Structures are given as structure tokens and as C-alpha cells.
Structure 1
Amino acid sequence: MSELKHTPTAGEDFPRTWSQFLDWFATEDDCLRYLERLRWRDGFVCPSCASTDAPYRASRARLMCQSCRHQGTVTAGTIFEKTRTPLKVWLAAAWYITSQKHGVSALGLQRVLGLGSYQTAWTMLHRFRRAMVRPGRERLAGMVEVDEVYLAIHDRRVAQSSAGRKSHTTKALIAVAVEILEPKGFGRIRLQPIADDTSACVLPFVREVVEPGSLLHTDGSSIYHGLTEEGYQHKRIVMSGADSPAHISMPGVHRVSALLKRWLLGTHHGAVKPLQLDHYLDEFVFRFNRRTSRSRGQLFYRLLEQAVVAEPVTYRQIAQRPPKVKASP
């Protein structure tokens, strides 16, 4: 998707308050009309033939293209596809997710919405996480710190042994990139699980998330020796024996890493399935990069705007998805 240029207006494009939210989305039809406006801001476009003729509106909120006779719904091809959960609940979940500064766990979402199943809440959260990465988003630029960090995560499953219940803990290696602003402060970030701390894993991450020509700050590791050949300016900061500690020499990656660990422990109690770790990282990036937004309603708008273009995914696909590990071809 191309760059989102539309600037939403509170009270017109999204509700200002929870009370206004309840007025806007009183029925399922209200929700469908809102999602349709988000999906086709400039008018209906047939997903089959790309016709822009106004569709024929059949029963059960179905839309039929007058050119090719293709039938579909507003939610077809989105994260809401084939859901049995009312759209009023979906939109309430999106509002709650974006209104909570530090996010929400599946158990917390289940309790707030009164869902009968933890699995439903868990799947809803993961579907929304798929919508938190905007296709075609810009790469980081300017001055960028790059490093790797280990995260200790715990699978929710536990094993019964002779010593009692034992938690399954594993360490995940995460590549971190942080824009450094002048004279101080941090810009956007990118996070990604990698298989190991080698050039074969780190350089593809850098190529994917950082604009060529940027000035990269890294530690003295040999895995970064190829950055100049990749078209980047490179400043190595050797930590061993340096006068300044690592968190002073490279403040961005250390601050982000600390916040990430605190978020995982505070919101999710460190219990994150390794197979879904990359999508938890996507949520953290979504929240961090929008931390200065003064309107939670605008975050709600942006999340739904991306949700209506994100690919549908089922519970089975989420639960059995293989780990996302970047390596060189």
C-alpha cells in the first residue's frame, strides 16, 4: 500500500471519546459502513476486476460488482474475514487496544469485552498485530544505531516433572535499529528476530529497514564490516576498554531494549510463544513509533485503516506458523 497521506480529523474520521464511540457504532450496519469508508475512501473498487462502478447491494450486506458480477463483503480479504464475532466487538477491541498505553493481554481483553473464550481474544489480538505493519513503510534514515539483544521469553505451556512444574524459558536474539535525532531524542525503530549474530543474518535486516546512505552506529563486532560495501556510512564504537559505558555510547538501542523487556514482562508477564514473537515485536514497534500521538482515537483509526487491507489469517495459521527468521539467500 502506498504512503498514507490522508490526515484524519477527530469527530469526523474517528470518535473523540468512548461515549462518542458508542454512538457511532451502535449497530452492525454502522460498523460495516465505517469499514467500507476506510477500505474504499475514494469509492468502491471491485477486488476482482477493479471496476469503480457503484456495486449492487444484495442481502446480508453483500456487494455485487455490476461489471463482473463478483460477490463479496466489506470484510472479505481482511482480518475480519469469516469472523463469527460481531463487528461491534471487533471495533471495541481495537479501541481498547489502542487506548491502553502499554497494550493489553489476551486475558485482559477477554475480561473487558466479556468474551466467552480466551482463544477468541488471543486470536483477535494476533489478527490486529498483523495489521500493525504497514506495507511499503519507509525505511529508517539519517543516523541509525544497530545492535542485537537477547530476550528471555517463556512459553505458556509448562511441563510436569519430578521437581514440580517447570517453565519453558528460551532466549531469542533480536536485531534492533533506532533512529537518533539531533540534538537529542529517538525517532522510529525496527525490531526483528534473527537466527544468530552473524553477517548472514544481520546485514539482510539492515538492508530491509535502513535507507542506503544512512550513518550507522554499531559496536566493534566484525559482523558489521560489510556495511560500507552495502552503501552505508559506518561508525564503529568499540565497547571493550572504552571510557563511556555501552548505554552512553549507544543510548538508542539500550533504551529501546530496556523498554521492550519491561513491556513484555509488564503486559505479557514474559509469557510469549516463540513462534509468535515477531508479531509481538510488531506491536511494540507500532506503539513506540506512535508514542507522541496526542489522540488515541487517531491510533484507533490507523489500526483499522490497516486492518481492512491486511491479509486474512486463521487461528490455525497463527498457532502453527513457523518462526520468522531472516537469513541471507
Structure 2
Amino acid sequence: MSEDEAYQHFCQLRWPETDGEAVCPKCGCAETYNITSRRRFKCVACHHQFSVTSGTIFASRKLSFVDLLAAIVIFVNGAKGVSALQVSRDLDVQYKTAFVLSHKLREAMALEQQNRRLDGVVEIDGAYFGGHVKPANVKAERKDRRLAENRNGKRQCVVVMRERGGKSLPFVVRNEGEAVPIARQRISPQAIIHADEGTGWDVMYGIWETKRINHSVRYSSDTACTNQAESFFSRLRRMEVGTHHHIAGQYLHAYAGEASWREDNRRISNGSQAMLVGESAMASAVSRQWAGYWQRRAA
């Protein structure tokens, strides 16, 4: 794809309702002048000048449209994620550029989950990530890392709520019990909850019809099963161990959201996945966290 073709493709993603014809983001006027020499537009009504990426997460971009489109395709093509180092090599850009660009795409993915509510049969489960404590070299000096006093306090709990045959919602909390108030906001009162025997889920009996399974006895049964939630954790664990190798605690929610998006859209083609991310990216506002990240200008 040439640069002009990639540019026209981004126009189609930004303004699908007008078949790629520019619409002023300031006043909504559909009549614009096309400044072809600078790939910008000027509104006839308010005279505001803008580009196809103005007001999106790609605002103030320096990469070409071909590279941006290639970055989206490369990013969604990894079943268990793609590291920023791999993206930087594939696009021939700095690691810093690939790192911020990847996180902007994760932010666009999370746009689909903002107002999502779950219903029907919902599986809920939690797993702990991060906070690895390296064992001592000498066996006699090694401590039981399962005990709280021998941990480093960096472990975080990722809780996923997954609708049977539907979508999922991940959250990062300190322990499973803290996820119950979030679940009350995001899960319909008429839903049927499937959970394990963790004590954090005991309070759910008074809120939903709840079914429990003891994983020390069996993984699934005819009455309760959390295998769909475990499938999400399997993907996120492989992302952490096999692809990214280390996930900083402050970014764990972004990687959990990415794993959720990949699980929800795993049955559709790679091209359709790329278009979904592209549409979300062009519909997202300028990132408050990642705009000017390396210049420490993030809000």
C-alpha cells in the first residue's frame, strides 16, 4: 500500500459516515477545503484547520500513515501479544516510539469496554501477577515465598468477569474481595455467577444466584465451571512470561485489557481485528497518559 492509499484508508476510518470526506471536529460542519500540499483540511464555517489524526491518539504523529497502519496489523497479529522491542525492529523505529505506540493501541482497545455490562451466565475469577521474589542461591537460606512476610508487596490481583459465550471485563485490585463492588456495577442482578471456592466470593450469594466449584476436587462440573475465565488467565500469563517477560505494576491493567480484547475477538480474522483497532484508535481522544510520555508532559 502506498502512502496516499494508507492516508485515504485512515480518512475512511475517521469519517466512515461520509465515506472518508472530512468533517470538522470543532463545529461538525461537513464542508471543508482540502489543503492537499499539507494533507490538512479547513472548515468552511469556522475556518478551523485540522488533519485526519487531529484529536485522536495519533495526534502530533511523526510516523508515516503506512507505518501506522503496519503497526496496527503487526500488533493485532500476535496471539499472545507483541513486545515493543519486536515492533521497533519490524517498523525500524526507536524502542521508545514502539513502546508508546503499543500502549496507545491498548488504550484504543479499552474503549470497547468502557460501558460494558454483562448478563446471563458470568464466570468470575482472580489470579495474581507480578511481585516475583528471586529465591536465594543456597537452599538452606531460601524462604517460603507463599508467606506474606516473604513477599515484596508488588503482587496484584487481576479479576476477570466473563460472560458465557460473550464478552469479558478485567480489573486490577489488591484481592478478590475488592472486585465485588465493581461486579455489582457491571453485572446484571439477573445474572448467574460461576466462581471458585475463594472466600472473597462468599458475599455474592446475597446478590446473585451463585454456583461454586472446588478446584482442589475438579476443574469443572455440570453445575459450575470457570474455564472461560481460566482461558483468559492462560493468555495473560503467556503474555507476561513468554512475550513481555516483565509487566510493571502500573501498566498491568493495560495488558489485562489487551488480553481481554484478544480473547473476545479471537474468532474473527486478522484483517477484521486490525480494522476494529484502527476504528477505535481514530475514535479515541488524545491520550492523557501517553501524549508526551517521554517528555514527562503526561497529565
Class of the TM-score when normalised by the shorter of the 2 chains = 0.7 to 0.9
Query: What's 2:105 paired with?
Result: 128
Query: What's 1:6 paired with?
Result: none
Question: Contact 1:126/1:318 (CA < 8 Å) preserved in 2?
Answer: no
Give the secondary-structure state (helix, strand or coil) at the position aligned to 2:79. Answer: coil
CA drift at 1:287: 0.9
In the alignment, structure 1 residue 291 sits paired with structure 2 residue 275 = no
Alignment of 1:134-145 (within 5 A): 134-135=111-112, 138-145=116-123
Distance 1:223 1:259 in 2: 23
Query: What's 1:189 paired with?
Result: 168
Distance 2:194 2:295 in 1: 37
Question: Contact 1:57/1:64 (CA < 8 Å) preserved in 2?
Answer: yes
In the alignment, structure 1 residue 303 sits paired with structure 2 residue 281 = no
Of the candidates 226, 233, 242, which is equivalent to residue 257 of structure 1?
233
Q: What one-letter code is carried by the residue in structure 2 that aligns with 1:178?
A: R
Question: Contact 1:56/1:65 (CA < 8 Å) preserved in 2?
Answer: yes
- CA pair 233-261 structure 1, distance change in 2 beyond 3 A: same
Query: What's 1:245 paired with?
Result: 218
Question: Contact 1:153/1:273 (CA < 8 Å) preserved in 2?
Answer: no
Question: Contact 1:153/1:272 (CA < 8 Å) preserved in 2?
Answer: no
Question: Contact 2:57/2:282 (CA < 8 Å) preserved in 1?
Answer: yes
CA drift at 1:176: 1.4
Distance 2:241 2:170 in 1: 17
Q: Which runs of 5 or more residues in structure 2 are unaligned?
A: 134-151
Question: Contact 1:175/1:205 (CA < 8 Å) preserved in 2?
Answer: no
- CA pair 278-299 structure 1, distance change in 2 beyond 3 A: same
Q: How many residues align?
A: 270
Bigger fraction of residues in helix:
2
- CA pair 195-316 structure 1, distance change in 2 beyond 3 A: farther
Of the candidates 51, 67, 75, which is equivalent to residue 53 of structure 2?
75
Alignment of 1:1-329 (within 5 A): 22=1, 26-27=2-3, 29-43=4-18, 44-51=22-29, 53-58=30-35, 59-115=37-93, 117-135=94-112, 138-152=116-130, 170-181=154-165, 187-198=166-177, 201-221=178-198, 223-224=200-201, 226-227=203-204, 232-235=208-211, 237=212, 239=214, 244-246=217-219, 249-269=225-245, 271-293=246-268, 295-313=269-287, 314=290, 316-317=292-293
Q: What one-letter code is carried by the residue in structure 2 that aligns with 1:203?
A: V
TM-score by length of 2: 0.79
CA drift at 1:247: 5.8
Deviations 1:267-302 (A, max 9, x none): 112x11111111111111111111111x21111111
Question: Contact 1:154/1:273 (CA < 8 Å) preserved in 2?
Answer: no
Question: Contact 1:154/1:272 (CA < 8 Å) preserved in 2?
Answer: no
- CA pair 207-66 structure 1, distance change in 2 beyond 3 A: farther
- CA pair 65-251 structure 1, distance change in 2 beyond 3 A: same
Show structure 1 runs of 4+ deviating over 6 A: 318-322
Distance 1:178 1:318 in 2: 35
Give the secondary-structure state (helix, strand or coil) at the position aligned to 2:127. Answer: strand
Deviations 1:295-326 (A, max 9, x none): 2111111110101011222354489799xxxx
Distance 1:203 1:54 in 2: 49
- CA pair 275-91 structure 1, distance change in 2 beyond 3 A: same
Q: What one-letter code is carried by the residue in structure 1 that aligns with 2:209?
A: Q
Segment drifting more, 219-228 vs 281-290 = 219-228
- CA pair 261-169 structure 1, distance change in 2 beyond 3 A: farther
Distance 1:195 1:321 in 2: 29
Give the secondary-structure state (helix, strand or coil) at the position aligned to 1:173. Answer: strand
Distance 2:226 2:70 in 1: 40
Give the secondary-structure state (helix, strand or coil) at the position aligned to 1:298. Answer: helix
Q: Which runs of 5 or more residues in structure 1 are unaligned?
A: 1-21, 156-167, 182-186, 323-329
Question: Contact 1:154/1:169 (CA < 8 Å) preserved in 2?
Answer: no
